[in-house]
Amino acid sequence: MSQDTPKVELRGVKKRFGSKVVLDGVDLKIARGESLVVIGGSGTGKSVMIKSVLGILRPEAGQIFVDGEEVTKLRGSARDEYLKKFSMLFQGAALFDSLTIWENVAFGLIQGRGMNRKKARDIAIDKLAKVGLGSDVANLSPAELSGGMQKRVGLARAIASDPDIIFFDEPTTGLDPIMADVINDLIVSTVKDLGVTTLSITHDMASARKISDRIAMLYKGKIIWEGPTAKIDNSGNDFVDQFIHGRATGPIKMEVRA
Amino acid sequence: MNIFAPVGRAVLAFFSMVGRLAVFTGTTLAHCVRPPLYWQLLLKQMFRIGWLSLPVVGLTAFFTGGVLALQIYIGSYRYGAEAFVPQVVALGICRELGPVIAGLMFAGRVAAAIAAEIGTMRVTEQIDALSTLATNPFKYLVVPRVLAAIIAMPLLVAVADAVGVFGGYTVATQSLGFNGYVYLNNSVNFLTHQDVFSGLIKAAFFGLIVSLMGCYHGFHSRGGAQGVGAATTDAVTSSMIMILAANYVLTSVLFET
């Protein structure tokens, strides 16, 4: 496979729920090792886009390629195999509350890959250290941690299985500005360490600027602008300008119904 | 105003629900027979679903057996047929009330717990997280619960049968003046294998219904706390109704004599 093959590519992906069109032909390419951030308001279909790539939701039309291979129609064990390339940090961290912290981090290793528990625990402790958490939290349950710490555990879980591609769904939402910046730094450092490809969705511009190589904006189910992070302030696009400056007036109209 | 539109919507919603439920059941059963099986989770669920249901099921069976003995005594006394109390209690418990009462208690306890737990996992994206960690949510969440319920329910009903007969025995010997030895002898000699096993077969089906309804409604819950609450209610009511409906069908199939 050539170096030019995009790591992830979406071609004309469409998804609707009932009569509501959420994705209306999304075209997007993410290069190997690149960090792409998709920005857009609430309810513009950012999460739906990520869940379509993961196969949690099935798009009605369009194709999704990973490493040049079409993955939209994968089923069963082929899909399980494909999913091993990915991991994801969820908006609410989505830690399993019936398991301890280290079992959460080691989950993909134990359940997905059949690693023995002792070895998986050592790796989990190591990954927790990478996100700045000591081994003293390993035996706590997720409910005993603050939101910021849960996000860190979520990040440790996402990097535990050494994935090729990591998705970040609103990594800084609900955190105070300092903790948000800590998470941003962790994302940048862990991702650079691993050399992975990342796709993040956010509406936090400070986070977007910090963690991205490139930014794309999703509006009404389509990518309306994309370009290098440095150009975001001179995009020449009124929609992007309104969004990054957070102005109430402009071409983007707030929809009451999400 | 068009009266056909709301009727049509309701009919369509009903059939799409039936379809989704059929697909869900098919997927679950397919995963039940395909490896890998998570043994530890199965054992854990058998403990939580089966063992921890014992007190509830046992208590209800005891009182049901007791009240059955009283009522049958009152009825049969009018014909001078009160000697048949042990036989009728044993028959009623094993063929009908043991499985049904245990099934309904099981529905209240287990369907609610499953729907609330899986529903919360759904709305907090934990089920999506399972997929991203190369773990099939059906295999990890649904199969252990369904298998555990199918295995645990007949065992629970076997206990309920024994406790129910004992409840009748207690009432009959303590307040109706029966001889204990004669009572038990009459109960045991009267029952056939068919009486007991058909009740246990029913129980396995009830276990399947309860666990499937809990998992299905939990899996399809949305919208936070309110959604999980609705899913829990739906799981309990639908499994109770389906138990009573299935009870009729199973009885007419199993008791062809």
Q: Is A174 helix (H, G, I), strand (E, B) or coil?
A: coil
**B163 — pLDDT class (breaks 50, 70, 90):** very high
For an interface test with B, give the residue of A85, A90, A162 to mutate (most B CBs within 10 A).
A90
Kindly write down the DSSP assignment for every residue of chain B, as one continuous string. Answer: --SHHHHHHHHHHHHHHHHHHHHHHHHHHHHHHSS---HHHHHHHIIIIIGGGHHHHHHHHHHHHHHHHHHHHHHHHTTT-GGGHHHHHHHHIIIIIHHHHHHHHHIIIIIHHHHHHHHHHHHTTHHHHHHHTT--HIIIIIHHHHHHHHHHHHHHHHHHHHHHHHHHHHHHHHHS---HHHHHHHHHHH--HHHHHHHHHHHHHHHHHHHHHHHHHHHT--SHHHHHHHHHHHHHHHHHHHHHHHHHHHHHHHT--
Q: Which residue of B has its CA nearest to A86?
A: B132
**Contact status, residue A194 vs residue A181, Cβ threshold 8 Å:** no
Q: What are phi and psi of B64, to 5 degrees?
A: -65, -45
Closest Cβ opposite residue A90 in set B129, B134, B136: B129
Judged against a pLDDT cut of 50, whether residue B153 lies above it is answered with: yes
- Residue A158, classed as helix, strand or coil, is helix
Contact A55 B125 (CB under 8 A): no
State how far residue A236 is from chain B, nearest Cα, in angstroms.
37
| Predicted complex ipTM | 0.82
Q: Is A152 exposed, middle or buried (0-12, 13-18, 19+ CB in 10 A)?
A: buried
- How does pLDDT run across B18-74, given as a tens digit for each residue? 898 899 888 888 888 887 788 888 999 999 998 999 999 999 999 999 999 899 898
* Contacts with B131 from chain A: Cβ below 8 Å: 54-56, 83
Give Dmax over CA atoms of chain A in angstroms. 56
pLDDT by residue for chain A (258 residues), tens only, comes to 456 788 888 888 888 887 888 888 888 888 888 888 998 877 778 888 888 888 888 888 888 888 888 888 777 777 777 788 888 888 888 899 889 999 999 898 888 778 888 988 999 898 888 888 888 888 889 999 888 888 889 988 988 888 888 999 888 887 888 888 888 888 888 777 778 888 998 888 888 888 888 998 888 888 888 888 888 888 788 888 888 887 777 777 765 544
Contact of A220 with chain B, judged by CB distance below 8 Å, is answered with no
For A26, A60, A210, A223, B8, the CA distances from A46, given in Å and listed in that order, are: 11, 16, 19, 10, 34
Picking from A54, A95, A97, the nearest residue to B131 by CB comes out as: A54
Please list every residue in chain B whose beta carbon sits closer than 8 Å to the beta carbon of residue A112.
Answer: 133-135
A85 part of contact set with chain B, CB < 8 Å: no
Task: Provide the β-strand partners of residue A16.
Answer: A21
Nearest Cα residue to B251 out of B97, B95, B88: B95
CB B169 within 8 A of CB B183: yes
Summarize pLDDT for B219-240 with one digit per residue, the tens.
Answer: 998 888 888 999 999 999 999 9
Alpha carbon of A34: minimum distance to chain B alpha carbons (Å): 20
Strands A69-70 and A61-66: antiparallel
Listed residue (B140, B105, B121, B106) closest to B208, CA to CA: B106
Give the strands of the sheet with A20-30, arranged side by side: A20-30, A8-17, A61-66, A69-70
Nearest CA among A75, A53, A52 for reference residue B30? A75
Q: Are A96 and A48 in contact (CB under 8 A)?
A: no
| Nearest neighbour of A94 by CB, restricted to B129, B135, B136 | B129
Each residue's pLDDT tens digit, B172-191? 898 888 888 888 888 888 88
Long-range contacts of residues B176-180, Cβ cutoff 8 Å, at least 24 apart:
B176/B69, B176/B70, B176/B73, B176/B82, B176/B85, B178/B85, B178/B86
Query: Which residue in B190, B196, B194, B175 sits closest to B86, CA to CA?
Result: B190
Cβ distance of B132 and A97 shorter than 8 Å: no
Q: Report the C-alpha gap between B34 and B141 in whole angstroms.
A: 15
Calculate helix-pair angle for B143-175, B180-190, nearest 10 degrees: 140
Contact B151, B32 (CB under 8 A): no
What is the DSSP code (8-state) at residue A25?
Answer: E
Note whether A97 contacts B: Cβ–Cβ < 8 A: yes
Looking at residue A56, what DSSP letter applies? S
Distance between CA atoms of B166 and B141, rounded to whole angstroms? 37
Round to whole Å and give the CA distance between B143 and B179: 48
- Which residues of A are less than 8 Å from B133 in CB distance? 87, 107-108, 111-112, 157, 161
Residues A164-203 as b or e (16 or more Cβ within 10 Å = b): bbbbbbbbbeebeeebbebbbebbeebbeebebbbbbbbb
Q: Residue B217 CB: number of other CB atoms within 10 A?
A: 28
Instruction: State which CATH number among 2.40.110.10, 3.40.50.1980, 3.40.50.300, 3.40.190.10 fits the domain covering A1-78+200-258.
Output: 3.40.50.300
Percent of chain B's residues with pLDDT above 90: 48
A128 neighbors A138 (Cβ within 8 angstroms): yes
Does A48 contact chain B (CB < 8 Å)? no
Confidence band for B167, pLDDT divided at 50, 70 and 90: very high
Beta-carbon count within 10 A of B126 CB = 22
Is A53 touching B (CB cutoff 8 A)?
Answer: no
Place of tokens 């109960």: B187
Is pLDDT of B207 > 90? yes
